[in-house]
Structures are given as C-alpha cells and as structure tokens.
C-alpha cells in the first residue's frame, strides 16, 4: 500500500515516526512518502519537505509568509497526484492539513486524520468540514471523543502516543558526566522548537536562571534549530545547552520552565513539576484571545480541567513571576507534591500505552481493507 503522511512540526514528526514503525509491522510492502522530519525519515519514509520549512505560527507570521505557504499548498497537491497514495494520513497541523483533506477527498483518496486539530478550542465550525472530507478521525485526548459525539461524528480514541515514546526511552545514567554537569539539582529549560518562540522565551528563562546560583539550568535545544541560535543568546555561566537529549534531560531534571505546546505534556509524563510559559506577537495574541474558547493553554491543565501547573501567559510572563512560580515547584516547594499527585491521575486519563499500534491497525485493517473490499 502507498501512504502519504503530512506532519508540520516536531511533535508530529515524533508521532508520525512511531505510526510508521507500526504500519510497517502490519504492511511489509508499505511505500511511505511524508512531510515531517528526521524521525520519520529514520523509519523509512521518503521525506518530501521538512517541518522547519512549514512552521509559521500566529496570524501576523502567517500573513508575512503567505507566498511560501501558498507555494507549499501547490507543491503538495501536485506531489499527492503524482504519488497516487491509497491513503493520506494527516497529523494535527490543521491550517494546512484540512485543505489537503478537502483536496484528497475531491480526488477520491482515503483521508485519515491522526491527532485531531484542536477544533474544540477554536473554529468549532471546522467539524462540519471534517465530517465531509475525513474518512476516519483518531483522537488522542480523552475529552475529544465526547466533543465530536456532540457534533454527530463518531471518532476513535486511541490513547496518547507520548506514553509509548516515553515508556520506550532508555535511561541515560551518564547524562551528567557526558554533559559536564555536577551534583546540583537541574532545572530544564524548554523554550520551544520554532525560532520565533525561542527568541521570545529563552531570554526570559535565562534571566530567571541567574537568580538561582545553587541550581544548574540546562536548555533543551530543538533538533531543527542551528546551535548558533542558542550560542548567540547564552550569557549566564550556570546555563548549559544539550542537543538531541530532551528526554534524557527530563529524566534528570527536578523542575522545568516549558513553552506551551506538546512539551508541557511530555514534561508531565516524566513526572517533572513545571511552569508553563508563553509570549507571542502582541497582535496575534490579541486576536487569539477573542476567538479561542479554552480556560487553559497547556495540555496538562486542559486534560485535567483544572490548574495543575502554573501558566504564565503574555503580560504575566515576567522574570519576577517566573522566579516565584519556580520556587514553588523545586524539591522543597509548597506546590510540588500536589502537582506530582495530579500527574498520576493525568496518566490514568490518557488511556495507557499502545496508541501508535492501535492507530496503525485502524488505518491498515479498517480503512484500507474496507477500501479494497469496495473495489
């Protein structure tokens, strides 16, 4: 069978890679073409476009890169028609992927959406489009199944693939020695994977680090970002950068400052108390506030439906507030034990391991088999 997979960011590359691994276990002849990153490529996909060329975030940023985005649409449509896949598999990334879903559906190609767009947060009207052009929707957050049911659409809850990725991560006992770290507690700094995020977040995180001389702060560099980006920003002597070692860093960390996104859930699943940080373009943020219908910004709090971890957003994201919030979650902090207790409940809500395997089985056995029988 021929599979065309589209992921537009680092987290999509991770989930896409695990999905590809499971598809190949079921379909030895799988021919897979993908938009993603190195992880998907390592699992045998032919990489068409790298997600670092697709990561435009925010209303203003999209407008200023409109020509590049439109060019990507045209290229993708041509590429799909030339490849003629049995199925197009879309991973989150809704602004791009919903257009590709319409296109594939119009050309009678099966469409599977793995990891639903966050239509429950904004643009709820997109559910009507999804119902028309998506043959199978698989969701990874427990409340999403009920959301779609209210919109008269049956979806499959497969569990969250991060549980598999984290469970399969080997322990790195030599992490401190290899990275020249001493015995002091470690606070992980996860400033995001996009250049604009890193520019906004890392300088504030570094200013916070200076105020904790008895702690080592370590930046988790994004694999898609060149080392010089981090080197140009570093100033504090007690801060180091590690490359391609985010999970190893989280295994060793006592706490973390994390830019809002998938990393907040990853940090929670490693059992690391965190402060969630976000500051975007002022105009983009003002627009988002008017159209986004959610109480929280982090996945941890959204899934638990309460403030488990502190969120410092936009004007609240100051060095003073970050210092206060970090003190509360360090080993002797007043909020640490409550957070760890909530994390245990969070894992239970996410439905256990095996998400990638369940998703692959649905794609290969249900969607494509049904298509073959119809023909």
CATH number, domain containing residue 230: 3.40.50.2000
Angle between helices 319-329 and 336-349 in degrees, nearest 10: 80
Whether 368 is covered by a domain: the verdict is: yes
Whether 70 is covered by a domain: the verdict is: yes
Region 77-106 average pLDDT: 95
Does 358 share its domain with 344?
no
Does 329 share its domain with 192?
yes
Report pLDDT for 27: 95
List the structure tokens of 331. Answer: 């080993």
Does 156 share its domain with 217?
no
Alpha-carbon gap, residue 38 to 193, rounded angstroms: 14
- Kindly report, residue by residue over 204-228, the tens digit of the pLDDT: 999 999 999 999 999 999 887 889 9
- Burial pattern 362-375, b for ≥16 Cβ within 10 A else e, equals bbbeebbeeeeeee
Whether 166 is covered by a domain: the verdict is: no
Does 359 share its domain with 341?
no
Whether 295 is covered by a domain: the verdict is: yes
Compare 195 and 144 and report the one with higher pLDDT.
Answer: 144
Give the residue numbers spanning the domain of 242: 172-349
Does 311 share its domain with 364?
no
Region 296-323 average pLDDT: 94
Report pLDDT for 124: 72
Does 187 share its domain with 157?
no
Report pLDDT for 45: 97
**Residue 286 clears pLDDT 60, i.e. is over it:** no
The answer to whether residues 104 and 80 touch, using CB atoms and an 8 Å cutoff, is yes
Does 225 share its domain with 145?
no
Does 75 share its domain with 187?
no
- Give the residue ranges of DSSP H helices in 270-368: 282-291, 299-304, 319-329, 336-349, 355-361
- Kindly report, residue by residue over 83-97, the tens digit of the pLDDT: 999 999 999 888 899
The answer to whether residues 210 and 187 touch, using CB atoms and an 8 Å cutoff, is no
């Amino acid at each position: 069978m021929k599979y065309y997979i589209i992921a537009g960011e680092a987290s999509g590359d991770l989930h896409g890679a695990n999905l590809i691994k499971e598809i190949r276990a079921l379909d030895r002849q799988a021919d897979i073409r993908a938009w993603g990153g190195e992880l998907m490529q390592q699992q045998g996909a032919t990489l068409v476009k790298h997600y670092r060329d697709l990561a435009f975030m925010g209303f203003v940023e999209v407008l200023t890169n409109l020509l590049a985005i439109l060019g990507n649409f045209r290229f993708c449509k041509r590429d799909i028609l030339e490849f003629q896949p049995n199925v197009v598999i879309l991973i989150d990334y809704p602004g791009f992927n919903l257009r590709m879903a319409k296109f594939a559906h119009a050309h009678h190609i099966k469409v599977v959406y793995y990891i639903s767009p966050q239509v429950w947060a904004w643009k709820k009207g997109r559910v009507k489009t999804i119902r028309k052009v998506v043959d199978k929707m698989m969701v990874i957050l427990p409340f999403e199944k009920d959301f779609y049911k209210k919109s008269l659409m049956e979806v499959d809850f497969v569990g969250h693939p991060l549980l598999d990725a984290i469970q399969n991560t080997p322990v790195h006992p030599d992490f401190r020695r290899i990275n020249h770290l001493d015995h002091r507690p470690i606070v992980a700094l996860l400033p995001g994977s996009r250049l604009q995020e890193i520019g906004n977040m890392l300088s504030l995180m570094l200013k916070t680090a200076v105020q904790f001389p008895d702690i080592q702060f370590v930046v988790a560099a994004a694999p898609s970002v060149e080392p010089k980006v981090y080197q140009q920003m570093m100033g504090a002597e007690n801060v180091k950068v590690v490359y391609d070692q985010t999970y190893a860093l989280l295994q060793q960390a006592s706490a973390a400052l994390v830019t809002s996104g998938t990393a907040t859930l990853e940090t929670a699943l490693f059992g690391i108390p965190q402060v969630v940080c976000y500051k975007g373009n002022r105009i983009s943020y003002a627009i988002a506030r008017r159209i986004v219908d959610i109480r929280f910004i982090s996945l941890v709090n959204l899934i638990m439906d309460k403030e488990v971890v502190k969120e410092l957003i936009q004007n609240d994201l100051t060095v003073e507030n970050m210092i206060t919030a970090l003190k509360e979650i360090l080993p002797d902090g007043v909020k640490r034990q409550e957070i760890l207790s909530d994390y245990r409940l969070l894992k239970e809500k996410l439905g256990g391991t095996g998400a990638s395997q369940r998703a692959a089985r649905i794609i290969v056995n249900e969607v494509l088999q049904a298509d073959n029988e119809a023909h």
